[in-house]
A = this chain, B = another copy of it.
Amino acid sequence: MHARSPEVVVSEVGPRDGLQSIKRMMPTDAKIAWIKALAATGLPEIEVGSFVNPKLLPQMADTAEVVSAALQLDGPAILALVPNLRGAERAFAAGVHRVTMPVSASRAHSLSNINMTPEQAVEQVAAVCSARDSLAKSNGAGRRVAVEVGLSTAFGCTMEGPVSEDWVVHLAGLVAKAGADTVNLSDTTGMGNPAQVKRLFRRLHAEVGNKAGGAHFHNTRGQGLANVVAALEVDVRTFDASLGGIGGCPYAPGASGNIVTEDLVYLLEAMGLRTGIDIEALVAARLHILSALPGEALYGHVPEAGMPKGFVAQYAN
């Protein structure tokens, strides 16, 4: 299934973005079994957890152990979120292939999410990149960990409302200069629309060139896949998603969180864009969530409706 590289990269964030918004703990063994099933679907990337203060997010306290198990799997790049240098050092020690760092465009969101201003978050990116470079140097010809930054609330903020696009683009430039390999745009709050998506990704590319990364969309207002189509129009080729759309906002029933991996992969494969991912294996992997977190609400239309008659996925070609 990994014989050819995917035309569009789907990056699974359920074990991180999904689980961090669910209060119940998924046992470590269950996480590992789930991630193993995700890897077997052909997913090229999995964000398996975050290195944050375990007092704040006890669901993520076992991330080092999860990373260690995930690194044994054949295939996917293993990612973890880190908010700061301290988290990055733990992630480097655990051996992740890539760290993702949130830098929020909204000042209010930045303070509430990581207790830093956007400028302080950029300084953390610089510190993490510098530590990463020293480590790579000391490893000799060793492995260099990639640093990916996601600009949170890039399309709007629940606290501040609209966020200045000029500021988002400027911040992307600062982050790139700080040493990040990739700058993604995140619609953390599900406020983005397709016109804005096209505009902002075009501007991101103009600002940071080939450091322009992928899209992280939430489906809060049902606009997630519509925004994906808009992003594809301007050549975005990496998308975050979570199995079953977990990560939803508990006070907005029906308003799911991340875009649903199953529906996203179906969209791409139906459009003729090779993802390398087996949709039916994705649907089957939902059972890992349901058995470890009974009663958890899962989203997604494709798992309910099934494949259309005569549907031929790209990986079967």
* B-binding residues in A (CB < 8 A): 156-162, 189-191, 193-196, 219-223, 225-226, 228-230, 232-233, 249, 252-256, 260, 263, 266-267, 270-272, 299-306, 308-311
- Do B304 and A253 touch (CB < 8 A)? yes
- In whole angstroms, what is the CA distance A189 to B310 when docked? 13
| A153 → chain B closest CB, angstroms | 11
From B195, B305, B309, B310, A271 is in contact (CB under 8 Å) with B195
| A303 → chain B closest CB, angstroms | 8
| A190 → chain B closest CB, angstroms | 7
Q: Which residue of B lies closest to A256 (CB)?
A: B301
Contacts of A256 in B (CB 8 A): 301
Contacts of A157 in B (CB 8 A): 309
Q: Which residue of B lies closest to A193 (CB)?
A: B270
The SS class assigned to the A binding surface is loop
Report the copy number of this chain in the oligomer. Answer: 2
| A85 → chain B closest CB, angstroms | 32
From B156, B194, B267, B303, A308 is in contact (CB under 8 Å) with B156
Given known contacts A229-B194, A270-B193, is B300 in contact with A254 (CB within 8 Å)? yes
Q: Which residue of B lies closest to A189 (CB)?
A: B308
Contacts A194-B232, A229-B230 known; list 8 others, CB within 8 Å.
A191-B311, A193-B270, A221-B266, A222-B266, A222-B302, A249-B305, A252-B304, A256-B301
- In whole angstroms, what is the CA distance A195 to B254 when docked? 28
| A192 → chain B closest CB, angstroms | 8
- Do B225 and A228 touch (CB < 8 A)? no
Given known contacts A255-B301, A305-B190, A310-B156, is B267 in contact with A223 (CB within 8 Å)? yes
Q: Which residue of B lies closest to A306 (CB)?
A: B252
- Do A271 and B161 touch (CB < 8 A)? no
Contacts of A300 in B (CB 8 A): 222, 254
- Do B266 and A223 touch (CB < 8 A)? yes
| A152 → chain B closest CB, angstroms | 15
Of A252, A267, A272, chain B has the most CB atoms within 10 Å of the CB of: A267
- Do A254 and B219 touch (CB < 8 A)? no
Q: Which residue of B lies closest to A249 (CB)?
A: B305
Contacts of A228 in B (CB 8 A): 226
Contacts of A306 in B (CB 8 A): 252
